[in-house]
Copies of this chain bind each other. A is one copy, B any other.
Amino acid sequence: MDIQHYMHTLGRQARDASRLIAAASTGAKNTALAAMAAEIRARRNALIAANGQDIAAARAAGIEPAMLDRLTLNEKGVEAMAAGLEQVATLPDPVGEITDVRQRPSGIQVGKMRVPLGVIGIIYEARPNVTADAAALCLKAGNAAILRGGSEAIESNRAIAACVHAGLRAAKLPEHAIQVVDTTDRAAVGALITLPEYVDVIVPRGGKGLIARIANEARVPVIKHLDGNCHVYIDDEADPAKIVPIVENAKTQRYGTCNTTESLLVARAAAQSALPALAAMLAGKGVEMRCCEESLAIIRQAAIAGAKLVAAREEDWREEYLAPIIAIKVVAGLDEAIAHINAYSSAHTEAIVTENYTRAMRFLREVDSSSVMVNASTRFADGFEYGLGAEIGISTDKIHARGPVGLEGLTSQKWIVFGNGEVRR
């Protein structure tokens, strides 16, 4: 198969289908989503069998346990996919929303209309559930999608694609609206990200290395999520009752998520009082503490049983551990905390714990990250927690979409003018 030619064909078909999907009614889109869910439930055994082929091949190739876990589709996973499709059907349709209509002195009325982006390319790892999730979100936002999942999931993705296409047919929508790249050839990714005539935006989901490579080689815009080096700053006017619960949740609720806190900053005036209790909680959870000189001295003096203490190196301020490890640094106060975050953070999510109004507002305003919080756990940075209903990913970019990206992030706004024969003077 000539990959360039194949991807061109997918692109052209997606572009053609995108015109029809953009004009599709909310009812037709919701009918398709419900029909896809019904197909997935009806074909449960076939889906699990296809997934079994992927698992057998992956095991034979010596796949890592974590990857195998993400690849596996069981009965619960199939039901979750179907329920996810139905849930997207319940979300409000963003397409066609008209806002900001204003009367201009010339006589025209000018406003904005929310419209689909067009064709979205999604590149992701071997996680079959993403195939259904991404298809649902792109379709509901009126876009055509080209989905390129990890090659280890090829049989699962083919089986899911069959359900998606049956759903589109049931709603009389074009099947090319959602296309799954049906080859494990890696050249397909390179082709997909260099088709500006057919693809309007690429959303890569996966490891940092993959995303960085795509961002570097793409010739179309990329909504990317690099790493999540999130911070909690404990101000010297923090409510002592809020400090430990927030840090405990932000660091230890789940170690592997991008909104998990990796660095803890503590105001010097709060360090003596706050650090021993924080260190005791972290030691109790088995979290290794990589400390600046000052925090190391304070925690050592507290002589906490089982505390794993390590002197932090410069690299620790930048690290996304995704593990039971936290970097701890004493700072002079708010100014140094903001400067440290803006210098070392990956601009994902940061929180301040303080009762001081002015410092809270300054932190919100001056910290340059996609989510900035007062007195709340960084773990809240999530499309569902924010009320978006679902998310295609979390953007650490500044252009177009920042933070959790839901249906709105898969749309754009055009200008509309209601005139009555006006001409420009």
Contacts and interface: CB of A to CB of B under 8 A. Distances in A.
B108 A380 contact: yes
Nearest to A418: B374
B242 A421 contact: yes
A399 B201 contact: yes
Nearest to A239: B421
A387 B102 CA distance: 9
B23 A366 contact: yes
Contacts of A248: 423
A385 B423 CA distance: 11
A183 interface: no
Interface string A103-141: 010101010010101100000000000000000000000
B374 A421 contact: no
Contacts of A373: 108, 416-417, 419
A223 to B, nearest CB: 8
B371 A245 contact: no
A404 B399 contact: no
Contacts of A419: 351, 373-377, 380
Q: State the copy count for this chain.
A: 2
A344 B231 CA distance: 49
Contacts of A45: none
A365 B23 contact: yes
A424 to B, nearest CB: 4
B241 A421 contact: yes
A22 interface: yes
A200 interface: yes
A242 B421 CA distance: 5
Contact of A400 (B216, B351, B370, B399): B399
Given A246-B423, A422-B376, A414 B400 contact: no
A162 interface: no
B104 A253 contact: no
Given A386-B104, A421-B241, A113 B416 contact: no
Contacts of A372: 113, 414-417
B113 A381 contact: no
A340 interface: no
Contact of A110 (B351, B387, B416): B387
A333 interface: no
A114 B201 CA distance: 23
Nearest to A221: B399
A165 interface: no
A369 interface: yes
Given A23-B365, A413-B402, A249 B423 contact: yes
A117 B419 CA distance: 33
Contacts of A376: 108, 417-423
Nearest to A386: B110
Interface string A85-101: 00000000000100000
Given A368-B22, A372-B415, A415-B404, A245 B421 contact: yes
A281 interface: no
A404 B414 CA distance: 10
Q: Closest 9 interchain pairs by CB?
A: A376-B419, A249-B423, A373-B417, A242-B421, A379-B424, A375-B419, A400-B400, A371-B415, A221-B399
Interface of A: 19, 22-23, 96, 102, 104, 106, 108, 110, 113, 115, 117-118, 200-201, 216, 219, 221, 239, 241-242, 245-246, 248-250, 253, 342, 351, 364-366, 368-377, 379-381, 385-387, 397-400, 402-404, 412-424
Given A22-B368, A371-B414, A376-B417, 12 more contacts: A22-B366, A108-B380, A113-B364, A115-B368, A241-B421, A245-B421, A373-B416, A376-B419, A377-B423, A377-B424, A385-B424, A403-B414
